[in-house]
Amino acid sequence: MDLNDYWQENKRFVTSVAAGLMAFWIGNMVINKSLGDAVTLISRSVSSTEADLRGISLTTADLGRAKAENAALEEAVSELEGRIAFQVRDGYTLDAAGSSASNQYFSQVSSVREELSREAGRLGVSIPDDLGLPALAPTREDELERYLEAFDLVERLVRLSFEVGVKKVDKIQIRLDPRLRSRKGLGRIEETEIDMKFAGDSGALVRLIAASQDTSRGGVLLIDSCELVPERARPTRAVLDIKFVVARLHRDVEEES
């Protein structure tokens, strides 16, 4: 079979192959023209980085210093966590081996309310009946747990007000972190807010703030905001609006960028 016969029988195949080769050649030229400089630059950057890495020489002493620095950072983080995280007292945590979460919640809340109400009556101090807790108790265990923690802080502050001579606890409101029900999660720091309003002698209110920051009383209570306003008619009396925070830390949670 001569070349002319082969061409006549296979010209469609030969044409397709030739067209494919031409398209490949043209495409290769276009890619080299449009991306060639970028590819060359990246290749040079990779080569330079590899050379730099090969030039790094770490000794045993370097490793020791790195470990020491890491240990120091871990210690600093732990210290900061200890200052920020609320230290819940016994009786204000749910015992997994005990009765139901609801029963534990109601038992603690009712006994503390009765004690504080009795003490307030003896001292002539006005306090809210609900002490900031919701009228309808939550049913979710995680919410019960957080309300108990907040109630721990409330009980401390009400007793401090008795001690320093504050005559009226006008308002208490507990707000759980709204991210508790969010799909995005709580993040690394969860905050339950407790808004409180006190009224009375301005000196007593100042002593209350100072007492809440006294480490000898079981830890500093975190204050988010504070406003002390004296009464116009009676300068020695004032109103204190103050917001405390019960902080929970979640170290194993990754923050979203």
Same domain? For 37 and 162 the reply is no
In this structure, are 113 and 234 located in the same domain? Answer: yes
At 208 the three-state DSSP class reads helix
Residues 155 and 226 in one domain: yes
Residue 59, domain member (yes or no): no
**Tokens representing residue 207 in the block:** 């002593």
| Per-residue model confidence (pLDDT) at position 169 | 97
Q: Is the pLDDT of residue 19 over 60?
A: no
More confident residue, 68 or 28: 68
How is residue 18 written in tokens? 């030739």
Is 92 in the same domain as 188? yes
Q: How much is the CA Rg of the chain, to the nearest whole Å?
A: 35
pLDDT of residue 25 exceeding 60, the answer is no
Q: Are residues 103 and 229 in the same domain?
A: yes
Whether 79 maps to a domain, the answer reads: no
Domain count along the chain? 2
Beta bridge partners of 239: 199, 229
**pLDDT of 233:** 83
- Element containing residue 249 per DSSP (H, E): strand 237-249
- Helix-helix angle 141-164:202-212, to 10 degrees: 130
d(CA 101, CA 212): 29
Kindly state the average pLDDT of the residues 240-246.
97
62 in a domain, yes or no? no
The answer to whether residue 72 sits within a structural domain is no
For residue 83, the tally of other CB atoms under 10 A from its CB is 12
pLDDT band at 94 (very low <50, low <70, confident <90, very high): very high
Specify whether the CB–CB gap between 209 and 226 falls below 8 A: yes
Task: Answer yes or no: do 117 and 14 share one domain.
Answer: no
Q: What CATH number should be reported for the domain holding residue 226? A: 3.30.70.60
More confident residue, 110 or 234: 110
Contact 127, 167 (CB under 8 A): no
pLDDT at 46: 77
Residue 128, pLDDT score: 96
Higher pLDDT, 162 or 67: 162
The verdict on 98 and 179 lying in the same domain is yes
Whether residues 25 and 149 share a domain: the answer is no
Whether residue 202 sits in one domain with residue 94: yes
Angstrom CA distances, 94 to 102, 121, 142, stand at: 9, 30, 10
Together in a domain, 1 and 97: no
Overall average pLDDT of the 53-74 stretch: 77
pLDDT given at position 8: 57
Residues 147 and 209 in one domain: yes
Who has greater pLDDT, 181 or 20?
A: 181
- Would you say residue 163 lies in a domain? yes
How large a percentage of the chain has pLDDT more than 90? Answer: 50
- 36 and 115 fall within a common domain: no
- Residue 8: domain span: 1-42
Residue 70 lies in a domain: no
pLDDT in tens, 117-176: 999 999 999 999 999 999 988 999 999 999 999 999 999 999 999 999 999 999 999 999
Residue 61 lies inside a defined structural domain of this protein: no
Q: Is 161 domain-assigned? A: yes
Question: What pLDDT was estimated at residue 257?
Answer: 43
pLDDT at residue 1, as a whole number: 53
